Amino acid sequence: MKKLLLGNEALAQGAIDAGISGVYAYPGTPSTEITEYIQRSKIAKELGIHSSWSVNEKTAMETALGMSYAGKRAMTVMKHVGLNVAADVFMNMSVSGINGGLVVVVADDPSMHSSQNEQDSRCYGRFAMIPILEPSNQQECYDIIKYAFDLSEKMGLPIMVRLVTRLSHSRAGIKVSDRRKQNDINLPVDSTQFQLIPAYARGRYQHLVDIQSDNRESSENSIFNQYFDGHEKSMGIIAAGIGYNYLMENYEDGKCPHPILKISQYPLPKSSIKKLFNECEKILVLEDGYPFIEEIISDFLGENRNVIGRLSGHVNRVGELDPDSIKGALGFDIEKVQAMPKIVSGRPP
């Protein structure tokens, strides 16, 4: 069955079909429709999925963690600046770990359409040492959230799913799949993992450090990280999340001549990146938000590598990407942009 859904709605439907028992959020554009969709869903009501708006993002995340403690799958939703409010529990629950699957959905707002900054939530995910997932289109919003809950329970960690405004608020046809039943109540075997007094927290933090190799292996083998070969090796392209969509919109036949590494799961797949660097003369990095990948690859490949992107000025340093903004970096002629018709001119959300 197919449905026409916003990226936010596709993610919400995916969460319902992943067997969530609760969603807890604080409203903020561009994330609000995720929780609203679940609240309006007839199926969610029939399944008894609990949903509430919280007084702030921290309490929303704490409530979701409480449901996870009971063995149920839970999701917490906020915009990027809301993660600042929830940072205390966010950082600590990466140390404590989870019981039932727990996914933190954060919608970033490049170009600040309704926000006070362009903060990139991938920095928080890396700081907490947890897996980050970044869908590139609406179908991936649906698929990746189901994968996120499975990964959360496999790793014993909360998972971050990062969206951006254009993905949250654009529509596409989504193919939905079978629904998973909700988890039964199942309390943790060792409740001390959630008691982060120093005596227990030291061991939990050591555990978090120890499983980073599993975290990296999961990313290296992820179906959401894909390497596409190309015959034109003068340039290789790393395209993250929606950046991959923007890249492919510049090729009407859907065929890019350059090798492409599509990234939708972090930490970065180092083996694939090294393969791209070994095959290509230079690397173009396309990512919506901070030059997050550019800075990291300089750390393990060396600053003298020929990398272009936001830091080099080949792609705009601030504001969101779009297909036209990367034409120059791809070597295409940049046509004179026509004036925007008044009927579609920018307006507040």
Q: 260-292: per-residue pLDDT in tens? A: 999 999 999 999 999 999 999 999 999 999 999
pLDDT value at position 252? 85
Q: How confident is the model at residue 59 (pLDDT cuts 50, 70, 90)?
A: very high
Residue 146 φ then ψ, to 5°: -65, -45
Q: Please name every residue paired with 308 in a beta bridge, in sequence order, or none if there are none.
A: 284
Please give the structure tokens belonging to residue 127: 């700081």
Listed in order, the ranges of the chain carrying CATH 3.40.50.970 are 2-220
- Please tell me the distance from the alpha carbon of residue 3 to that of residue 242, in angstroms, as a whole number: 20
Rounded to two decimals, the pTM is 0.94
- Please tell me the distance from the alpha carbon of residue 17 to that of residue 75, in angstroms, as a whole number: 13
Listed in order, the ranges of the chain carrying CATH 3.40.50.920 are 226-330
Q: Of 107, 53, 118, which is closest to residue 79 (Cα–Cα)? A: 107
Q: Is 172 helix (H, G, I), strand (E, B) or coil?
A: strand
CATH number attached to the domain at 2-220: 3.40.50.970
| Whether the Cβ atoms of residue 192 and residue 200 lie closer than 8 Å to each other | yes
Does the domain made of 226-330 have the CATH classification 3.40.50.920? yes
| Whether the Cβ atoms of residue 166 and residue 109 lie closer than 8 Å to each other | no
pLDDT value at position 332? 85
The angle subtended at Cα 11 by Cα 19 and Cα 145, nearest 5°, is 55
Residue 277 φ then ψ, to 5°: -65, -35
Average pLDDT, the chain: 94
Does residue 301 carry a pLDDT above 70? no
Q: Is 215 helix (H, G, I), strand (E, B) or coil?
A: helix
